[in-house]
Homo-oligomer: A and B are copies of this chain.
Amino acid sequence: MKKSEPLGNDNNGNPIPQDVFEVTSELIEEISHALRENNYEQLDYLLAPLHSSDIAIIFEQLREDERNDLTSYFGSQLNPEVLTELEDTALDQVIKEMDADHVVEAISQLESDDAVDILEDIDLEDRNRIIAALPDEERLAVEEGLSYPEDSAGRMVQKNIITVPGSWTVGQVIQFLRTEEELPPEFYEIFIVDPLHHPIGTVSLSQLIRTRDSVPVSEIMDTDPKVVPVDLDQEEVAYMFRQYDLTSMGVVDEDGRLLGMITVDDVVDVIDEEAEEDILRMAGVQETDITESIFEASKNRIVWLLVNLATAILASMVIAMFDGSIEQMVALAILMPIVASMGGNAGTQTMTVTVRSLATKDLTESNVHRVVGKEFAIAILNGVVLAVIIGLLSLAYFDNPLLGGVIAAAMIINMVMAGLAGILIPVGLDRVNIDPALASSIFVTTITDVIGFFAFLGLASVVLI
């Protein structure tokens, strides 16, 4: 929630659409140059017009030493909003470089959800030190936020919301909004609550503003406001916003009392984060960011590579079972990776569609049987096409019809296994509450490698050798 600072307008005083993306490589270069020269005047000139989100990008794009210099340049003048936009590694570094007092002051200026967002991402030691130094009211709000599970609605709650009783008229609400000092910086709806603070309705500002003063808000309110329990996973919160086209939504405690609201700008970040997490996990990469160090990144990735090494060795053991056959017919060694690799690709296709369908709740118990049948049919169709092609090519190249037949049969077997593994493994993992994006691909490719080598070399040993 922020208001943008003034920026370049054209000669007629109109905003220039071309400055849509303000942080260019040239700008970064100029800032980096000004930092090296300690040219504070130039830095003022370059940085003053920028939105806090753009300043965050500049922090992330700079080298580590430049990032520290920029932190010193800002000193206590750093807009707290910049911190809310920084990725973890850069945030940690900036917080460490800032004066302790400035950090506390910056964080106490933020809405509670933004403060929680920053504090949950930084080193535990820094976090505890900062929280202890916060003013009482902020501290309690932050501690409450952090008491909810990571990635739950509770972590995203903005406590500062507008609640009014249903008996109030539109005029009374507007009068209240005009006189109340501690309003949230930006809001889209007001919440109507009963005496026990249960939400009984919401009125959007656009509805409020166009209704006559004398009308009670209870007459214009949406009587079925969507609310979420405070411990709901953020992925489900995002699903609600997307599904019902919301801009803000109430969050309730276990007794159904209104605790605060979640706004769409935070949900946009969650949607992005969750999609990114799925993409990265399917490729075996942990949560990462561009400012991460080489050792962290290397450590993050080696785990997955070691798991894959184990499965690659497993596949090799299958090959080793047939070493006699390969010695007699080296064509088998030449062709065997094709069967395994095509199975891997087909399995990955099905698995990816399945993981996404699960994430978007398109794949449910109602249709899973139908979708499994469909994937089976697709696997046979595509398997036959590929089998015919590779069978004919093998026949042509090795002049051996039996070899062509063996590789065609192995291809169909492996494609069908790939299709079934591609859907059944993620669905099965999802049922036992393991993130299908994280673990599916290792199982799927292990199966397609093992079955691919086994089917091809096994059939060949029986038929050809």
A200/B13 in contact, CB under 8 A? yes
Task: Report how many residues on chain A are interfacial, defined by Cβ distance under 8 Å.
Answer: 153
Q: How far is the CB of A415 from chain B (nearest CB, A)?
A: 9
4 closest A-B pairs by beta carbon, nearest first, are A275-B275, A283-B352, A333-B333, A245-B265
Which residues of A from 226 to 279 have beta carbons under 8 Å from B?
226-229, 232, 236, 240-247, 252, 256, 264-265, 267-269, 271-272, 275-276, 278-279
B367/A290 in contact, CB under 8 A? yes
A302-B385 in contact given A313-B393, A338-B312 (Cβ < 8 Å): yes
Beyond the given A178-B210, A188-B188, A290-B367, please list 4 additional residue pairs across the A-B interface where CB-CB is below 8 A: A275-B276, A297-B378, A315-B341, A330-B333
A15-B199 in contact given A208-B209, A245-B53, A352-B283 (Cβ < 8 Å): yes
Q: How far is the CB of A320 from chain B (nearest CB, A)?
A: 5
A188 and chain B: residue at smallest CB distance: B188
Does A337 lie at the interface of the complex (its beta carbon under 8 Å from any beta carbon of B)?
Answer: yes
- Report the stretch among A123-131, A138-146, A342-350 that lies at the interface: A342-350
A302 and chain B: residue at smallest CB distance: B382
Q: How far is the CB of A331 from chain B (nearest CB, A)?
A: 8
Which residues of A from 328 to 374 have beta carbons under 8 Å from B?
330-338, 340-342, 345-346, 348-349, 351-353, 355-357, 360-367, 370-371, 374
A278 and chain B: residue at smallest CB distance: B279
B362/A289 in contact, CB under 8 A? yes
- Report the stretch among A4-12, A40-48, A93-101, A427-435 that lies at the interface: A4-12
B366/A232 in contact, CB under 8 A? no
Query: Can you list 25 pairs linking A and B with CB atoms under 8 Å apart?
Result: A4-B225, A4-B244, A15-B199, A15-B227, A20-B226, A20-B229, A28-B364, A63-B370, A178-B212, A208-B209, A241-B268, A280-B352, A283-B351, A284-B348, A297-B374, A298-B377, A298-B378, A298-B382, A301-B349, A302-B382, A305-B342, A305-B349, A316-B334, A319-B337, A323-B334
Does A402 lie at the interface of the complex (its beta carbon under 8 Å from any beta carbon of B)?
Answer: no
A335 and chain B: residue at smallest CB distance: B316
- CA of A229 to CA of B340, assembled, Å: 48
Does A70 lie at the interface of the complex (its beta carbon under 8 Å from any beta carbon of B)?
Answer: no
A301 and chain B: residue at smallest CB distance: B349
Does A309 lie at the interface of the complex (its beta carbon under 8 Å from any beta carbon of B)?
Answer: yes
Residues of B near A362 (CB, < 8 A) are 60, 87, 289-290
A356-B20 in contact given A308-B345, A320-B334 (Cβ < 8 Å): no
B28/A366 in contact, CB under 8 A? yes
- CA of A25 to CA of B289, assembled, Å: 38
Does A463 lie at the interface of the complex (its beta carbon under 8 Å from any beta carbon of B)?
Answer: no
B285/A352 in contact, CB under 8 A? yes
Which residues of A from 156 to 208 have beta carbons under 8 Å from B?
174, 177-178, 180, 183-184, 186-188, 194, 198-200, 204-206, 208
A256-B14 in contact given A20-B240, A206-B188 (Cβ < 8 Å): yes
Does A51 lie at the interface of the complex (its beta carbon under 8 Å from any beta carbon of B)?
Answer: yes
Residues of B near A268 (CB, < 8 A) are 241-242, 245, 264, 267-268, 271
Q: Per a CB cutoff under 8 Å, which of B9, B289, B305 touches A386?
A: B305
B275/A367 in contact, CB under 8 A? no
Residues of B near A28 (CB, < 8 A) are 364, 366
A53 and chain B: residue at smallest CB distance: B243
Does A461 lie at the interface of the complex (its beta carbon under 8 Å from any beta carbon of B)?
Answer: no
Does A222 lie at the interface of the complex (its beta carbon under 8 Å from any beta carbon of B)?
Answer: yes
B349/A283 in contact, CB under 8 A? yes
A366/B29 in contact, CB under 8 A? yes
B301/A2 in contact, CB under 8 A? no
- CA of A199 to CA of B204, assembled, Å: 24
- CA of A157 to CA of B453, assembled, Å: 54
B337/A340 in contact, CB under 8 A? yes
